[in-house]
Amino acid sequence: MDINKLSKDKLLEKCTELNITKCKSKNKSQLILLINDKLNDKITSIVEYKPYSFIEVCAGGGGLSSGLIKSGLNPILLNDFNNNCCKTLRKNHPNTNIIMGNMEDIDFNQYIDKVDLLTGGVPCQSFSHAGLRKGLDDKRGDLMFKFIEILNKIKPKIFMIENVKGLLTHNNGETLQIILNEINNNNMYNIMCHKREKEFLYFLGTNWGFKSKSSQRCFDKCSNFTRC
């Protein structure tokens, strides 16, 4: 509807419909300006309200997903191989799509270019100082590559991987370099990492093609992260 073609009476009716007050004394041009401002405000509020979406694989009991949900993100899929973990996820997130099983068996085609964040606590036993440190030769270590396959398929705007700090030193750092090279094959993400004192290592990657100011500010605040 082109409001510029409406009569003043119709414009006043539109003002009433949009709850615009103190408009009877306005001329036609002023009414059109008021209506356009109101409509633009409604469009802006709808866009700002849409929550960012995320998928988490190897979700465990849902500690990370709970934090993301409390921060306003919308979970569109949570996955874990362990039945008890999935029971916990269903208990805590009853309206969420939760899939139990191997993440490589999930069909992610429907999520291509539709996810803001992909995250996962990919199994770390093969890199941990407390384990045998078989690395990528361990079936669990190979799941890191499965995660990267999902990453390359759905192309989220941001990804985050949680692992153990032992990954930094495994095989004199060669294992970490192999993983980073695999992620960087598509030259899509700028990757940073952060080592916490309590044995954890985080990788954060952002697609710089994503023109969201809010996600940029979030990434800029990660002062504890260093470029990988």
Asked if 218 is an active-site residue, the reply is no
3-state secondary structure of 228: coil
Q: Please, are residues 192 and 205 in contact by the beta-carbon 8 Å criterion?
A: yes
- CB proximity list for 47: less than 8 A, separation 6 or greater: none
Helix then strand count (H, E) for the chain reads: 7, 8
Beta strands of 10-157 (E only): which ranges?
53-57, 74-80, 98-100, 117-120
Name the residue type at position 184: N
Catalytic residue among 85, 86, 124, 193: 124
Structure tokens at 131: 């384990």
As a whole number of angstroms, the distance between CA 222 and CA 121 comes to 19
Do you know the residue count of the chain? Answer: 228
Choose among 228, 207, 196: nearest CA to 219. 207
Q: Would you tell me the crossing angle of helices 143-154 and 174-183 to the nearest 10 degrees?
A: 20
Catalytic site residues? 124
